[in-house]
């Protein structure tokens, strides 16, 4: 589905579309990503190595989680099915952004074609929103497990889980398509310099021509904020009911054991939305381009890097399964 949509995007939003009548525009067919080019040259190899290691760890960490869940039958439960889907979305989100950023760090050629820019925006928004929808579903899974344990197997059957995951991916694709079509239906003229290391939506909107620019910017903000805040609201609502149910458990040990199943998910939600708020809701001020670039990497590179660490260390069942898997691979005699 995603492949069909991305091949359809260039047909819908061709840069050769007719300009607004009465205007003498020089149409933009490629963009220049400023990224880290303004940073001191002697720091770029350090940044490159740091982000490369974080990128590789993100890929390996998420692949390890997926392989462990696949190989351990005890982890074939809805919670870990959703975790595998989340790891997939994080891998794809990282692949859509980080390799291009790393190449541009060591290259003097920072141009990106109009079509490649639209594709990168589509994929980054698709996988980013899919990630948020999956976090919301994981919160619902914890709510059902703790508040309605007797109905868990019915409400979270294999068919229901597959449907929820499919809806998350479909919803992410629709959001990615919607934002990309809104932005790239605008006319770009004059400057083609994007002060970012990726085709960032608000950086692109600053380059658009025409009188509808401000209304389109407001529309994009409303679409994105409504979806993200809707997910956050439902996650918070789930945890309100979860905390209320936990407080009714008589023993302290029972409360601790029940809440421990939510800690990793809750931590990832806090990290995800905290860094997203830093990027998209920071107040306008005298921030330099360099500081904005570094802040953007906290969400695009650092957050995916932290996620597998949090799930591996804070989830006791997954951590034990990973240890068991390594023991079988590297210590066959002791096993």
Taking only the tens place, the pLDDT of each residue in 56-108 is 999 999 999 999 888 888 888 899 999 999 999 999 999 999 999 999 888 88
pLDDT at 238: 95
Task: Tell me which of 180 and 29 has the higher pLDDT.
Answer: 180
Q: Are strands 193-194 and 30-33 parallel, antiparallel or unpaired?
A: parallel
pLDDT value at 171 more than 60:
yes
CB 13 within 8 A of CB 185: yes
Sign of CA dihedral 39, 43, 48, 53: negative
Nearest to 115 by CA among 201, 28, 213, 189: 28
H or E segment and range at residue 255: helix 252-260
Task: Tell me which of 188 and 18 has the higher pLDDT.
Answer: 188
Q: What is the mean pLDDT of the chain?
A: 84
pLDDT value at 175 more than 60:
yes
pLDDT at 296: 84
pLDDT at 152: 92
pLDDT grade, residue 214 (50/70/90)?
confident
Strand partners, 27: 189
Alpha-carbon span 13 to 183, nearest angstrom: 9
CB 311 within 8 A of CB 63: no
Task: Tell me which of 109 and 52 has the higher pLDDT.
Answer: 52
Strand partners, 189: 27
pLDDT at 186: 82
- How distant is the alpha carbon of residue 105 from its chain centre? 22
Q: Which of 83-87, 288-292, 326-330 has the lowest mean pLDDT?
A: 288-292
């Amino acid at each position: 589905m995603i492949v069909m949509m991305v091949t359809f995007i260039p047909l819908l939003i061709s840069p050769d579309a007719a300009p607004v009548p009465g205007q003498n525009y020089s149409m933009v067919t490629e963009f220049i990503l400023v990224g880290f080019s303004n940073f001191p040259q002697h720091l770029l190899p350090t940044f490159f190595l740091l982000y490369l290691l974080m990128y590789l760890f993100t890929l390996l960490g998420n692949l390890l989680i997926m392989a462990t869940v696949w190989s351990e039958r005890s982890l074939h439960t809805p919670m870990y099915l959703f975790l595998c889907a989340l790891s997939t979305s994080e891998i794809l989100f990282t692949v859509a952004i980080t390799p291009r950023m790393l190449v541009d760090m060591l290259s003097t050629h920072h141009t990106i074609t109009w079509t490649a820019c639209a594709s990168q925006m589509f994929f980054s928004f698709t996988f980013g929103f899919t990630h948020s929808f999956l976090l919301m579903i994981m919160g619902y899974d914890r709510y059902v497990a703790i508040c309605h344990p007797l109905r868990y197997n019915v409400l979270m059957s294999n068919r229901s889980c597959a449907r929820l995951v499919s809806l998350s991916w479909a919803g992410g694709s629709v959001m990615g398509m919607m934002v990309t079509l809104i932005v790239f239906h605008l006319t770009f003229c004059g400057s083609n310099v994007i002060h970012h290391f990726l085709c960032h939506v608000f950086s692109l909107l600053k380059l658009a021509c025409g009188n509808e620019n401000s209304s389109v910017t407001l529309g994009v903000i409303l679409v994105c904020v409504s979806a993200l805040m809707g997910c956050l609201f439902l996650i918070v609502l789930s945890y309100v009911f979860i905390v209320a149910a936990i407080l009714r458990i008589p023993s302290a040990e029972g409360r601790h054991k029940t809440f421990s199943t939510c800690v990793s998910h809750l931590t990832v939600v806090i990290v995800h939305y905290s860094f997203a708020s830093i990027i998209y809701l920071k107040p306008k001020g005298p921030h330099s381009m360099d500081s904005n670039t570094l802040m953007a990497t906290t969400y695009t590179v650092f957050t995916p890097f932290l996620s597998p660490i949090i799930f591996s260390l804070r989830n006791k069942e997954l951590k034990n399964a990973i240890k068991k898997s390594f023991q079988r691979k590297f210590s066959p005699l002791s096993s």
